[in-house]
Amino acid sequence: MDNSLLEKAKLYELEAEKKISDIERPELHFSARTGWMNDPNGFSFCHGKYHLFYQYYPYDTHWGPMHWGHAASSDLICWEYLPVALAPDMVYDCEGCFSGSAVELQDGRHLIMYTAVSRENDKSDNNVQQQCLAIGDGVRYEKYENNPVIKSTDVPEDFSIYDFRDPKLIKVADGSYLSLIGSMKADRDGQVLLYTSKDGFCWSFKSILATNGHRFGTMWECPDFFELDGKWVLLISPTEMQASDMEYPNGHGTLCLMGEYDAITGKFTEESDQAVDYGIDFYAMQTVKAPDGRQIMIGWLQNWDTLNIRPDGCKWFGQMSIPRELSVVNGRLCQSPIRELLNYRQNEVRHEGVISDEELSIRGIEGRVIDMTINVSSVENDLSFFDVKLACDGHFYTELKYDFAESILKLSRMHSGIGIAGLHESCCKVDRDGESIDFRIILDRYSVEVFACGGRYVLSMAIWTEPTAGGISFAAKGKANIDVVKYDIVSHGVDCDFGDEYGNIQCEE
Ligand code: FRU
């Protein structure tokens, strides 16, 4: 093993992060320590802490040979960066350590399974994808001597060995393990393959858990699978989706399939489908089961198609969504920002019963790093739309607009100052309860996330308007009753240093 690649990355990130001030980062969203970040990886709970790894290329703000960055947290809001955990330093992963997951083993070791990418042979340009392990203590990780543990020869006939990635490890109650792997058949039909293991190290193929049938895109990336509120939920990030009404847009998308799981046959029976997030910037989501039973999801708050849309000279690229608590309510996946966020709220401003039928600002309702809840209803049954403009500076703004007649919710960065290729408006059809509609808006320096109707519909979007743009205004056509509560969110400066346990991390000699 060429240890120097990992050591080089550890030293590099320690120096490079010093050049990024807190104010240049999101306040409460996790961002790359330095350089580039994509998918969340290895989102897990181990040794009493949450761990988040991520697809990482420290040396540039563009995608490069994939490493695994690492951070840990006690509350999922305040993260401490830990040393980069994996570098592409073996023959079998020299083209990159792609996405994967992690679990705590019975004996307390932290087990990572990731996709190792390597050249098929000297004469081929094709990259083969195989699954490998690394074992760690929560800070340092060693690649397993018998890697790869799921080889390209373990792929069922007719399946691609070039698209076989993103294993999700699951601990089963009987002490055994499952690994779900995203895949594609030769005819480009996305699939999830299921492998089983008694000890986490020795794996065998069990079944095809789920099949696309050419409905939702082609390759199925980053599967996740869990039981929640009496249903089995399969999360997938499909590539090359075709737009379908307002549910799925073209391109990389998010998909939630809900149904039943037969553990004997290893088959999932699908009952319903929905998008996970209707905004442009949410992908490759992954979940962790918290010790208190909550299923918590985090996603990459970015879109593969708009990577060049970013501020000039940015020193980091890639942020994660706010971690979200999941639930299934009446057959729908619902999301709400993790409750730990409440600890970071300050300066409550509350107004109830504001009546408006024109553009107005509301005293004290402003700010750029905020958690804001709005409830809107029609006073005289004549409300046709309601609109809130965020991150305004008198010129640029990001707009959330709800059409009461058509029940369509739009989140738009068309006027946010973004370059022409980033102009975008995300829409979804909202089935609201009764006459009112509620929104919870989490606005940070570089993103907005909207949880509508108690979290039944979520839209996430990156925005790059100058962080000083903190104006907020409301508008309505027809008479609207507006209840609004806004908090500033303050997280930097909160002490989340883990002290002796992880503090003062030194690079190994
Ligand atoms: C998803 C993805 C994964 C892959 C990783 C590579 O965004 O394409 O399928 O493992 O990113 O960085």
User: What are 430-453's pLDDT values in tens digits?
Assistant: 988 888 999 999 999 999 999 999
The CA radius of gyration of the chain, in Å to the nearest whole number, is 23
Beta carbons of 169 and 101 less than 8 angstroms apart = yes
Q: How many helices (H) and strands (E) does the chain have?
A: 1, 32
Task: Say how many Å lie between the CA of residue 39 and the centre of ligand 1.
Answer: 6
Angle at 461 between CA 386 and CA 496, to 5 degrees: 115
pLDDT score, position 508: 37
- Which atom belonging to ligand 1 lies closest to the Cα atom of 165? 10
- Which atom belonging to ligand 1 lies closest to the Cα atom of 166? 10
Regarding the beta carbon of 66 and ligand 1, being less than 6 Å apart is answered yes
Regarding the beta carbon of 388 and ligand 1, being less than 6 Å apart is answered no
Residues 256 and 223: their CA atoms lie apart, in Å, by 10
Regarding the beta carbon of 239 and ligand 1, being less than 6 Å apart is answered no
Beta partners for 345?
489
Mutate to test the pocket of ligand 1, among 163, 221, 239, 302 (most ligand atoms within 8 A of CB): 221
Distance from first CA to last CA of the chain, Å, rounded? 16
Beta carbons of 344 and 492 less than 8 angstroms apart = no
CA count, 13 A, side-chain hemisphere, 166: 26
Share of the chain above pLDDT 70, in %: 96
Task: Say how many Å lie between the CA of residue 393 and the centre of ligand 1.
Answer: 36
Regarding the beta carbon of 115 and ligand 1, being less than 6 Å apart is answered yes
Residues 266 and 65: their CA atoms lie apart, in Å, by 34
Give φ, ψ of 508 to 5 degrees: -70, 150
Regarding the beta carbon of 410 and ligand 1, being less than 6 Å apart is answered no
DSSP string, 276-293: S--SSS-EEEEEEE-TTS
In this prediction, residue 500 has a pLDDT band, given cuts at 50, 70 and 90, of very low
The mean pLDDT of 287-312, rounded to a whole number, is 96
Mutate to test the pocket of ligand 1, among 166, 240, 302 (most ligand atoms within 8 A of CB): 166
Question: Which of 50-59, 61-70, 86-95, 428-437 is the least confident region?
Answer: 428-437
358 pLDDT higher than 90: no
- Which atom belonging to ligand 1 lies closest to the Cα atom of 237? 1
Beta partners for 286?
298
The mean pLDDT of 301-326, rounded to a whole number, is 95
- Which atom belonging to ligand 1 lies closest to the Cα atom of 182? 9
Active site residue 39: yes
Residues 224 and 285: their CA atoms lie apart, in Å, by 8
376 pLDDT higher than 80: yes
Task: Say how many Å lie between the CA of residue 78 and the centre of ligand 1.
Answer: 25
Residues 236 and 188: their CA atoms lie apart, in Å, by 15
Instruction: Calculate the average pLDDT of the chain.
Output: 94
Task: Say how many Å lie between the CA of residue 165 and the centre of ligand 1.
Answer: 8
The mean pLDDT of 4-8, rounded to a whole number, is 96
- Which atom belonging to ligand 1 lies closest to the Cα atom of 66? 12
pLDDT score, position 495: 52
Per-residue pLDDT reduced to its tens digit, 384-422: 999 999 999 999 999 999 999 999 999 999 999 998 889
Q: Which residue has the tokens 């401490």?
A: 80
Beta carbons of 365 and 348 less than 8 angstroms apart = no
pLDDT score, position 120: 85
pLDDT score, position 118: 96
2 pLDDT higher than 80: no
Residues 147 and 124: their CA atoms lie apart, in Å, by 22
pLDDT score, position 509: 32
Regarding the beta carbon of 38 and ligand 1, being less than 6 Å apart is answered yes
In this prediction, residue 479 has a pLDDT band, given cuts at 50, 70 and 90, of very high
81 pLDDT higher than 50: yes
Q: What is the DSSP letter of 218?
A: S
Q: Which residue has the tokens 């039944």?
A: 456
Regarding the beta carbon of 99 and ligand 1, being less than 6 Å apart is answered yes
- Which atom belonging to ligand 1 lies closest to the Cα atom of 222? 9
Task: Say how many Å lie between the CA of residue 284 and the centre of ligand 1.
Answer: 8
- Which residue's CA lies nearest to atom 8 of ligand 1? 221
pLDDT score, position 505: 41
Task: Say how many Å lie between the CA of residue 237 and the centre of ligand 1.
Answer: 10
pLDDT score, position 506: 39
In this prediction, residue 496 has a pLDDT band, given cuts at 50, 70 and 90, of low
In this prediction, residue 259 has a pLDDT band, given cuts at 50, 70 and 90, of very high
Task: Say how many Å lie between the CA of residue 241 and the centre of ligand 1.
Answer: 16
- DSSP, collapsed to helix, strand or coil, labels residue 378 as strand
Regarding the beta carbon of 36 and ligand 1, being less than 6 Å apart is answered no
Nearest to residue 115, comparing CAs of 193, 29, 186?
Answer: 193
pLDDT score, position 1: 58
Residues 7 and 86: their CA atoms lie apart, in Å, by 10
- Which residue's CA lies nearest to atom 6 of ligand 1? 98
Exactly one of 22, 39, 312, 495 is catalytic; which is it? 39
The mean pLDDT of 288-297, rounded to a whole number, is 98
Regarding the beta carbon of 55 and ligand 1, being less than 6 Å apart is answered yes
167 pLDDT higher than 70: yes
Per-residue pLDDT reduced to its tens digit, 334-352: 999 999 999 999 999 999 9
Regarding the beta carbon of 98 and ligand 1, being less than 6 Å apart is answered yes
Instruction: Kindly report the pTM of this predicted structure.
Output: 0.96
Task: Say how many Å lie between the CA of residue 98 and the centre of ligand 1.
Answer: 6
- Which atom belonging to ligand 1 lies closest to the Cα atom of 99? 10
Mutate to test the pocket of ligand 1, among 165, 224, 305 (most ligand atoms within 8 A of CB): 165
97 pLDDT higher than 70: yes
